[in-house]
Structure 1
Amino acid sequence: MLDALTAVVTAAALALAAWCGYAALRDQPTKDWHFIGMAVVTVLALAQLVVGVVQLARGEKPEQGAAIFVAYLIGSLCTVPAAAFLSLAERSRWGSATVAAGGVVLAVLEVRLFDIWGG
């Protein structure tokens, strides 16, 4: 895995969590610019999935197994879009809180991916 990409995805996820958490504290639902931020974080997670699959295809192996590694990559990719969908269903401060929680979950998944790879 690329350690720099993992750090960037983690930082972006935490920044999104802080941003949407602040919106929730101000009693605001998710706005269009929040969805732009979610799209950026999702693209970064997609880039990480592609890099991870390419490394597996080149023969590199994670320490804790390829199946769990791929499962975490897919889970990481799905976390923020799932939170975005839920925030559309809940157009209140709780939608913003859901996205904030999704950002924290993504950051934790990134740390776990780093451990699975052997970091």
Structure 2
Amino acid sequence: MLVAVSLTVTVTALLLAAWCGLAAYRDEPTNDRHFAGMAVVTLAALVQLVVSLVQLGHGDRPEQGVAVFLGYLIGAVCTIPAAAFMSLAERSRWGSAIVAAAGVILAVLELRLHDIWGAGHG
């Protein structure tokens, strides 16, 4: 797993969390710009999925097992889209809070993915 890709996902997720957290603080629901931001973060997570699958295909293996790694990887890809659907159902400040929480969760998942893969694998 490339550290640059993981770092990109983490930073974009935290930026989204801060942005939607501010919207929740201002008592605003998610809007089209927030959904564009969610799309960017999801795209970064999808790039990470593809890069990771290619590395697995080339024989690289995570230190803590392929099954655990794939479980976290799939969870990371699904986090922001799940929050997007939930924020559509909750058209209030709490929809923005849901997305903010999902951004933080995704950042934590990225740290765990890095740990599962192993720091020495790059």
TM-score normalised by structure 2 residue count: 0.97
After TM superposition, the runs of 4+ consecutive aligned structure 1 residues lying more than 2 A away are none
Letter in 2 for 1:32: D
* Amino acid of the structure 1 residue aligned with 2:104: V
User: In the comparison of the two structures, how many residue pairs are matched?
Assistant: 119
Cα shift readout 1:7-62 (whole Å, capped 9, x = no counterpart) = 11000000000000000000000000000000000000000000111100100010
Instruction: Name the residue aligned to 1:98.
Output: 98
Unpaired runs of 5+ residues, structure 1, are none
Secondary structure at the counterpart of residue 27 of structure 1: coil
Quote the residue 1:67 is aligned against: 67
How far apart in 2 are the matches of 1:51 and 1:70?
12
Q: Distance in 1 between matches of 2:31 and 2:37?
A: 10
- TM-score under structure 1 length normalisation: 0.99
Partner of 1:24: 24
Structure 2 gaps of 5+ residues are none
Take 2:6 and 2:45, find their aligned partners in 1: how far apart are those partners?
9
Matched, 1:51 2:54: no
- Aligned residue type for 1:21: G
Q: CA RMSD in A?
A: 0.4
